Amino acid sequence: AKKQGKNRFYWFEAPMENELRFRNKLESGIRAGIANGEFVPYYEQQIDLETDKLVGFEMLARWESPELGVVGPDIFIPIAEEIGVIGELSEKLIAQAFEDAKQWDHQLTLSVNISPVQMRDPWFAQKVLKLLVKHRFPPHRLDIEITETCLHENIGMVRSMITSLRNQGVHVSLDDFGTGYSSLSQLRSLPFDRLKIDRTFISELRADENNTALVDAIVAMSDGLKLPITAEGIENEAIHEVLKTMGRMKGQGYHYGRPEPAAKVLERLSAQELL
Ligand code: C2E
Ligand code: CA
Ligand code: CA
Ligand code: CA
């Protein structure tokens, strides 16, 4: 639908009926895909920018649909939330990720993303604990990423959720920082372990220009709050170099590698003697 050719009106005037049919197909495809194990974890490297060493991976879900090919989470997560299967889907993915990560060097951490819908489940922390025990995964290797939009929810409930996760030894990060509306006082009152600066701020950085002001400010603030930082969306060497001068932090992005399936991660780790 990007190219505006002769055919564009066909696209816009596609009968509603077709859209509905496609949506229904997606919904039933997602339900069937969960049952058939078509949802799989991919992993993106996380680097310590001080040492340039690999320190862990973020799990990013993919739908390997026999019909549609590899589908990204921006398509299926919102639908899974709407049709009430996000909890089940997420638990399956996390269970698989625990099994994958158990094969890695035990220093390497595993980050997972959690939907705001799951944050509304009063049993969420319990469910995470159950999974950790069932798969014998060390809690301190797990980092749960909560997006800033979760802070619009009942803040008391969010706080007690974070607290019970941390009491189990799990780390909790604030994801997509800077894209929402969290206030400084909210940030100070919630016991996060880490801030992840959203990639929209990182992609603004250029070595040859001087527009580091925004990221500088976030770094200064995180120093003040004593919260370590991860910068996401590092796409090239220049940005990597700029960030290295801004203080101690972790980084991730296409510069280090695309998200890749478990088997590729094992190859990478075996080459680096990190198995
Ligand atoms: P996110 O947590 O902000 O994850 C980073 C996204 O940026 C990923 O997209 C990743 O592939 C992409 N990315 C990484 N490095 C770069 C880069 O250098 N440049 C650019 N342009 N993009 C980069 P992806 O995998 O499509 O995931 C999109 C979002 O879906 C994630 O955003 C996360 O919020 C959500 N998500 C992924 N897996 C899950 C899951 O299992 N559960 C839930 N609830 N959400 C998930
Ligand atoms: Ca994330
Ligand atoms: Ca982000
Ligand atoms: Ca996100």
Condensed to tens digits (0 to 9), the pLDDT of residues 21-32 reads 889 999 999 999
- DSSP states of 141-186: GEEEEEEGGGGGS-HHHHHHHHHHHHHTT-EEEEEEETSS---HHH
- Rounded Cα distance between 254 and 237, Å, is 10
Separation of 176 CA from ligand 1 center, angstroms?
10
Q: Going by C-beta distance under 8 Å and a sequence separation of 6 or more, which residues neighbour residue 191?
A: 159, 162, 163, 166, 172
Instruction: Give the number of the atom of ligand 1 that is nearest the alpha carbon of residue 259.
Output: 11
Tell me whether 0.85 is exceeded by the ipTM. Answer: yes
Distance (angstroms) between ligand 2 centre and the Cα of 60 equals 8
Using DSSP's 3-state secondary structure scheme, residue 4 falls into coil
Enumerate the β-bridge partners of residue 196: 230
Instruction: State in Å: Cα 9 to ligand 3 middle.
Output: 34
Q: How far apart are CA 116 and CA 148, in angstroms?
A: 9
Average pLDDT, the chain: 91
- The protein residue with its alpha carbon nearest to ligand 1, atom 27, reads 73
For the segment 87-143, what is each residue's pLDDT rounded down to a tens digit?
A: 999 999 999 999 999 999 999 999 999 999 999 999 999 999 999 999 999 999 999
Q: 189: pLDDT confidence band, cut at 50, 70 and 90?
A: confident
| Rg (alpha carbons) of the chain, rounded to whole number | 20
Q: Which of 92, 93, 113 to mutate to test the pocket of ligand 1 (most atoms within 8 A of CB)?
A: 113
Structure confidence at residue 223 (pLDDT):
93
pLDDT digits (tens, 9 = 90+) for 136-149: 999 999 999 999 88
Residue bearing the CA closest to ligand 1, atom 17 = 233
Q: Which amino acid residue places its CA nearest to atom 21 of ligand 1?
A: 233
Task: Tell me the whole-structure pTM to 2 decimals.
Answer: 0.93
How many CA atoms within 13 Å lie on the side-chain side of 96? Answer: 21
Look at residue 2 and tell me whether its pLDDT is greater than 80. no
> What is the 163 CA–ligand 3 centroid distance (Å)?
23
pLDDT for 230 beyond 80:
yes
- Region 228-254 average pLDDT: 95
Side chain identity, residue 19? E
Ligand nearest to the CA of 194: 2
Whether residue 1 contacts residue 11, with contact meaning beta carbons closer than 8 Å, is answered with: yes
Pocket of ligand 1 (CB under 6 A): 44, 60-61, 72-74, 77, 90, 93, 113-115, 175-176, 199, 232-235, 253-254, 259
Distance in angstroms (rounded) separating the CA atoms of residues 48 and 243: 11
How far is the C-alpha of 203 from the C-alpha of 240, rounded, in Å?
A: 11
DSSP one-letter code for 52: T
Please list the residues that pair with 229 across neighbouring strands: 195
C-alpha 112 – ligand 2 centre gap (Å): 7
